[in-house]
Structure 1
Amino acid sequence: MTTAALDVPVRARRPRLRGALASVRTWVGILLTALVTAIAFLGPFLSPHGENDIVGAPYSDSAPGALLGTDYLGQDVWSRLLAGGNWVVVTAVLATLLGMVLGVAAGLVAGYARGWVDEVVMRVCDVVLAFPQIVLVLVLLSVAGPERWLVVVVVGVSHAPRVARLTRGMTTGLATREFVQSAEALGEKRSRILFAELLPNMTAPLLAELGLRLTYSVGLVASIGFLGFASDPSAADWGLMINENRLALAVQPWAILAPVLAIAVLALGTNLIADGIARSAAGADLSKGASS
Structure 2
Amino acid sequence: MILAIIATAVGVGLGALVGVLAAYRRGWLDELLMRAGDVALAFPQIVLALLFLSIIGPELWLLVLMVGFGHLPRVARVVRGAALSVVERDFVKAAESVGIPRWRIMIGEIVPNISSTLAVEFGLRLTYSIGLVAGLSFLGLGMQPPAADWGLMINENRIALTISPWSVALPVIAIALLTVGTNLVTDGLAKASIGSDKGVTV
- The answer to whether structure 1 residue 216 and structure 2 residue 142 are counterparts is no
Return the alpha-carbon distance in structure 1 between the equivalents of residues 16 and 124 of structure 2: 15
Return the alpha-carbon distance in structure 2 between the equivalents of residues 271 and 193 of structure 1: 30
Which one has more relative contact order, counting CA pairs under 8 Å at least 6 apart? 1
Return the alpha-carbon distance in structure 1 between the equivalents of residues 184 and 40 of structure 2: 27
Equivalent of residue 184 in structure 2, options 261, 267, 272: 272
Contact 1:205 1:281 in 2 (8 A): no
Matches within 5 A, 1:178-193: 178-193=90-105
Contact 2:153 2:168 in 1 (8 A): yes
Matches within 5 A, 1:50-129: 89-129=1-41
Matches within 5 A, 1:149-164: 149-164=61-76
Count of aligned pairs between the two proteins: 198
Question: Taking structure 1 as reference, are residues 114 and 230 closer, same or farther at Cα in structure 2, changes over 3 Å only?
Answer: same
Return the alpha-carbon distance in structure 1 between the equivalents of residues 187 and 146 of structure 2: 36
After superposition, give the CA deviation of every residue in 1:238-279 in whole Å (9 maximum; x if it has no partner): 101111221322211221122112211111111222334456
- The answer to whether structure 1 residue 237 and structure 2 residue 146 are counterparts is no
- Structure with the higher helix share, 1 or 2: 2
Contact 2:12 2:122 in 1 (8 A): yes
> What is aligned with 1:25?
none
Question: Taking structure 1 as reference, are residues 121 and 230 closer, same or farther at Cα in structure 2, changes over 3 Å only?
Answer: same
Contact 1:212 1:271 in 2 (8 A): yes
Return the alpha-carbon distance in structure 2 between the equivalents of residues 193 and 283 of structure 1: 21
Any idea what SS the aligned residue of 2:114 has?
helix
Equivalent position amino acid for 1:164 in 2? A
Contact 1:222 1:239 in 2 (8 A): yes
Return the alpha-carbon distance in structure 2 between the equivalents of residues 190 and 146 of structure 1: 40
- Alpha-carbon RMSD across the aligned residues, in angstroms, is 2.1
Question: Taking structure 1 as reference, are residues 217 and 123 closer, same or farther at Cα in structure 2, changes over 3 Å only?
Answer: same
- The answer to whether structure 1 residue 253 and structure 2 residue 184 are counterparts is no
> What is aligned with 2:175?
263
**How many Å apart are 1:232 and its aligned residue?**
2.1
Any idea what SS the aligned residue of 2:124 has?
helix
Q: Please list every run of at least 4 consecutive aligned residues from structure 1 whose deviation after the TM superposition is greater than 4 angstroms.
A: 277-285
Return the alpha-carbon distance in structure 1 between the equivalents of residues 74 and 196 of structure 2: 24
Any idea what SS the aligned residue of 1:251 has?
coil
Gaps of 5+ in 2: none
